[in-house]
Amino acid sequence: MTTRAEFFARIRTEMRKTSGLFAARAAERPRDASRLVETVRRELAERWPQTIERFRVEFERVGGVFHRVTHVAAVPGLVAAIARERSLRTVVAWHPTALGTDLGGPLAREGLDVRAMPWGPVEDAERQGFRTIVANADLGLTGADLAVAETGSIVLRSGPGRPRSTSLLPACHVAVFDRTRLVESLAQVGVFLEAWHEGPSAFGANVSIITGPSRTADIELTLTRGVHGPKEVHAVFVDEEIGG
Amino acid sequence: MREMATSFRDRAGHALRDGFLQEALTIATTKFKELRREAFEDFPEGEALRDRAREIKEATLQRLDHHLERLVESVERVGGHAHYATTSEEARRIILDIARRTGARMAVKSKSMATEEIHLNEALAEAGVTPVETDLGEYIIQLAHERPSHIIAPAIHKTKGQVAELFARELRRQVAADPEALTRIARDELREKFLRADLGITGANFAVAETGTVVLVTNEGNGRMVTSLPRVHVAVMGLEKVVPSLTDLMVFLAILAKSATGQKLSVYTTLIQGPRRAGELEGPEEFHLVLLDNGRIGQLAGPLRESLYCLRCGACLNVCPVYRQIGGHAYGHTYPGPIGILLTAMQHGIGSVKDLAHASSLCGACADACPVRIDIPKMLIELRREIDERRIAPWPERLVFALFARVVGSHVLYRLAVPIARLLQRPLVRRGTIRRLPLGFGAWTRTRDLPPVASRTFRERWRELERE
């Protein structure tokens, strides 16, 4: 079997034979991404009304359903309405700490069967139990780490209280967020990704950039939704700052 | 499923006579082509980004050892393992070892051309590990025991009727030939597999050296499932997929989906950094990255180096007049289309492309469509030159061209040859063209007519005009 040393020795031997096709440089990384993120946030803070409008347009263009409410208190009623319209009953949600607010109680009062994802470490035996719960749930409720206006995308980091399956297994995914999550462009997403990498990681091993509901056109190029991932993605934008 | 015993000519002829394939290819490639064009029309920064992307690819190759070492360090730092495969066979062995050691009995796979390249599925099955393709198109062709016919849409050659029949036969599920219903069946069947599988196998669209992040670009959600639910995740990656940083990555993400399907981004762009962290409910316990050579290292200083920039977007397939007529299977190798010819030569040597190197009119549409501006025609010509140098082409062909080169290269021989040709061609010219050459030369006129030698050459005409 090829060892690491052998592999790299061969690469270096070949590399020595050529200087390449033309002068080229890789991208310049931001020197202090965390500081740059703060600058980006400050600039965006003023433009958020235009940014959310742009997000709405792009989000709907990729098949997302956009909602907007003024106060956090309105969110449970809205989610319940979404669920009722589709005859959905069971909800799995990020842990309140991850969501920034506790929606479990209010949702239960709306008649929904809600399970919050656990925060702390979980025994292996329990892990399977949670998987079954999420696999059988009708609706997955998450926050959003970023909402990208350029592409209508929602960026989710995995981690304690915010497992990946919440936004993946249930057929309906609802993401709730406020203006502090908005960014305009993919380039800005890059700055955040660099900053997240720099910082201490209380988060998980996965970042997902989600742009609309699951889709395929593999059969005769006919577009169908909900192949493996959710059939519907909803964005609920809250004017007031959540947890603020 | 390995290389077929038939010739390229036979396979191409077969494809040309297949009415449904012709229609499917036209519809699909036209659609992708149009979507790509519209996406870039709305995207003024697109041209500058393509230049940047090309530059980053070249810059990465110029320090490939540095970036790959960084990648390995980063992967190990986040708790993953790196493996080195010089050949397809080694790659298969590495993966089978991991499967055996972890007691895997079923592996779910996200769409990966690299795993097609190393013929992984047969090896897994033989070793008692059931491979399950989860991308809908790949799932369909797996059930049909076929290979993908397009890099992005592997089952493009199948009608919905054929898919319904396939599901009825292989899954014993009766359903109408309706894409929605068929998709629902696939969703149910595969959901159960995702939840039960021991091993998840993917490729890697990119791998970020700075952070050890493997990036998957998908639309269905199977990429997320395969890398979150099973205990073990193995990513197989051509070593040229490495990019230096997350900032570089965003340049490629900005143009990849647009080039492939016209989308701004695919539905799921998944960034994976090693196995699950402490406190995570889900995610694999083990993460393995298999770095694949299989001919790539050999081209770092070779004529096909530029093909290492390839993002596997399929844009060149959709505009190629040859691919659009014959489809992927006729190429007879894992990677079809213009870039496929180069990749086949890279992986299997010059002999493997003695016919394929000529499966091009050198129109250049591919170079134009390529998001990283790979000069495919230039490399095709280089392949043809090498085929000639190594005397791989059939001897009659070489003889004819050698003679032609002599005659055309000497003006004495040329002026002698012209009146002789005029004489010899008389019985062959019908209504102003030569439809059929006799004897062995008939192959040249099977699909084209030749213009006859003119009754007077330009030189002769010029002399007359001067006299007048």
Domain positions in chain B: 1-42+305-393, 45-140+195-294, 395-467
Nearest to B281 among A17, A127, A189 (CB): A127
pLDDT at B272 over 60: yes
In A, minimum Cα distance to B226 occurs at A228
pLDDT at A11 over 50: yes
In A, minimum Cα distance to B56 occurs at A26
pLDDT at A56 over 90: yes
Any residues with CB less than 8 A from the CB of B58 and at least 6 apart, and which? A20, A21, A22, A24, B309
Which pLDDT score is estimated for B129? 97
Residue A215 β-bridge partners = A225
Residue ranges per structural domain of chain A: 29-238
Q: Is A28's CB within 8 Å of B31's CB? A: no
CATH topology of domain B1-42+305-393: Fumarate Reductase Iron-sulfur Protein; Chain B, domain 2 (1.10.1060)
* Spatial separation of the C-alpha atoms in residues B169 and B179, rounded to whole Å: 17
Which chain A residues are within 8 Å of B271, Cβ to Cβ?
193, 206-209
Least Cα distance to B78 among B283, B243, B329, B303 occurs for: B283
Nearest to B300 among A18, A127, A135 (CB): A18
Which chain B residues are within 8 Å of A2, Cβ to Cβ?
84-86, 90, 293
pLDDT at B2 over 50: no
Report chain B's terminal Cα–Cα distance, integer Å.
69
Which pLDDT score is estimated for A244? 55
pLDDT at B32 over 60: yes
- Look up residue A13 and give its two tokens: 């031997």
- Give the model's confidence band at B174: pLDDT under 50 very low, under 70 low, under 90 confident, else very high: confident
Percent of chain B having pLDDT more than 70? 99
Count CB-CB contacts under 10 A for residue A41: 14
Calculate ∠ Cα B89-B69-B345, nearest 5°: 40
Calculate ∠ Cα A194-A196-A199, nearest 5°: 110
Question: Which of A18, A203, A206 is the best residue to mutate to test the B interface, defined by the most B CB atoms within 10 Å of its own CB?
Answer: A206
Pairing label, strands A113-116, A153-157: unpaired
Instruction: Please state which CATH number belongs to domain B45-140+195-294.
Output: 3.40.50.10420
Range name among A58-72, B84-98, B164-178, B195-209 with the lowest pLDDT average: B164-178
pLDDT average, residue stretch A17-22:
95
Which pLDDT score is estimated for B440? 75
Single-letter amino acid code for the residue at B137: G
* Spatial separation of the C-alpha atoms in residues B299 and B291, rounded to whole Å: 16
Quote the minimal CA–CA distance from B129 to chain A in Å. Answer: 22
Percent of chain B having pLDDT more than 90? 82
Question: Which of B267, B346, B375 is the best residue to mutate to test the A interface, defined by the most A CB atoms within 10 Å of its own CB?
Answer: B267
Which chain A residues are within 8 Å of B216, Cβ to Cβ?
none
Q: Is B160's CB within 8 Å of A21's CB? A: no
pLDDT at B63 over 60: yes
pLDDT average, residue stretch A20-32:
93
Q: Is B68's CB within 8 Å of A11's CB? A: yes
* Spatial separation of the C-alpha atoms in residues B360 and A209, rounded to whole Å: 38
Any residues with CB less than 8 A from the CB of B156 and at least 6 apart, and which? A218, A221, B24, B25, B28, B137, B149, B150, B327
* Spatial separation of the C-alpha atoms in residues A80 and B25, rounded to whole Å: 45
pLDDT at A140 over 50: yes
pLDDT at A63 over 80: yes
Sheet containing B268-272, strands listed edge to edge, beginning at the edge strand earlier in sequence: A182-183, A146-148, A153-157, A206-210, B268-272, B213-218, B206-208, B242-243
* Spatial separation of the C-alpha atoms in residues B409 and B109, rounded to whole Å: 56
* Spatial separation of the C-alpha atoms in residues B99 and B236, rounded to whole Å: 14
Which pLDDT score is estimated for B457? 85
Tell me how many helices (H) and strands (E) chain B has: 21, 12
Alpha-helix residue ranges (DSSP H) falling in B18-112: 19-41, 46-62, 64-77, 88-101
Nearest to A18 among B28, B219, B301 (CB): B301
Contact assessment for residue A164 and residue A207, using Cβ atoms and an 8 Å cutoff: no
Chain mean pLDDT for chain B: 94
Q: Is B280's CB within 8 Å of A25's CB? A: no
In B, minimum Cα distance to A124 occurs at B281
In tens, the pLDDT along A150-181 reads 999 999 999 999 999 999 999 999 999 999 99
* Spatial separation of the C-alpha atoms in residues B419 and B167, rounded to whole Å: 66
Tell me the ipTM for this assembly.
0.96
Q: At what angle do helices A4-16 and B64-77 cross, to 10 degrees?
A: 160
pLDDT average, residue stretch B244-271:
97
pLDDT average, residue stretch A110-133:
91
Q: Is B244's CB within 8 Å of A207's CB? A: no
Per DSSP, A216 falls in state E
Nearest to A164 among B190, B224, B298 (CB): B224
Which chain A residues are within 8 Å of B86, Cβ to Cβ?
2, 6-7, 10
| CA distances in angstroms from B188 to A103, A171, A227, B182, B226, listed in the order given | 30, 12, 9, 10, 15
Q: Is A205's CB within 8 Å of B273's CB? A: yes
Contact assessment for residue B329 and residue B149, using Cβ atoms and an 8 Å cutoff: yes
Supply the pTM of this predicted model: 0.94
CATH topology of domain A29-238: Rossmann fold (3.40.50)
Q: At A66, phi and psi to the nearest 5? A: -105, 135
In A, minimum Cα distance to B309 occurs at A21
- In terms of average pLDDT, the best of B276-280, B361-365, B402-406 is B361-365
SS3 content of chain B, % helix, strand, coil (to 5): 55, 10, 35
A17 burial (CB, 10 Å; 0-12 / 13-18 / 19+) is exposed
Q: Is B272's CB within 8 Å of A186's CB? A: no
In tens, the pLDDT along B285-322 reads 999 999 999 999 999 999 999 999 999 999 999 999 99
Contact assessment for residue A43 and residue A188, using Cβ atoms and an 8 Å cutoff: no
In tens, the pLDDT along B322-363 reads 999 999 999 999 999 999 999 999 999 999 999 999 999 999
Which chain A residues are within 8 Å of B134, Cβ to Cβ?
228
Pairwise pLDDT comparison (A244 vs B142), residue with the higher score: B142
pLDDT average, residue stretch B221-248:
97
Please give the interface size between A and B, counted as residue pairs whose CB atoms are below 8 Å apart: 268
pLDDT at A201 over 90: no
Contact assessment for residue A37 and residue A192, using Cβ atoms and an 8 Å cutoff: yes
pLDDT at B92 over 70: yes
Nearest to A118 among B62, B270, B281 (CB): B281
- Give the model's confidence band at B64: pLDDT under 50 very low, under 70 low, under 90 confident, else very high: very high
Quote the minimal CA–CA distance from A154 to chain B in Å. Answer: 10
Which pLDDT score is estimated for B1? 37
pLDDT average, residue stretch B175-189:
93
Quote the minimal CA–CA distance from B297 to chain A in Å. Answer: 6
Per-position DSSP letters for B265-299, written without gaps between them: S-SEEEEE-SSPPTT-SSS-SEEEEEEE-TTSGGG
Residue given tokens 């392949």 in the structure block: B383
pLDDT average, residue stretch B397-424:
91
- Look up residue B281 and give its two tokens: 């409910």
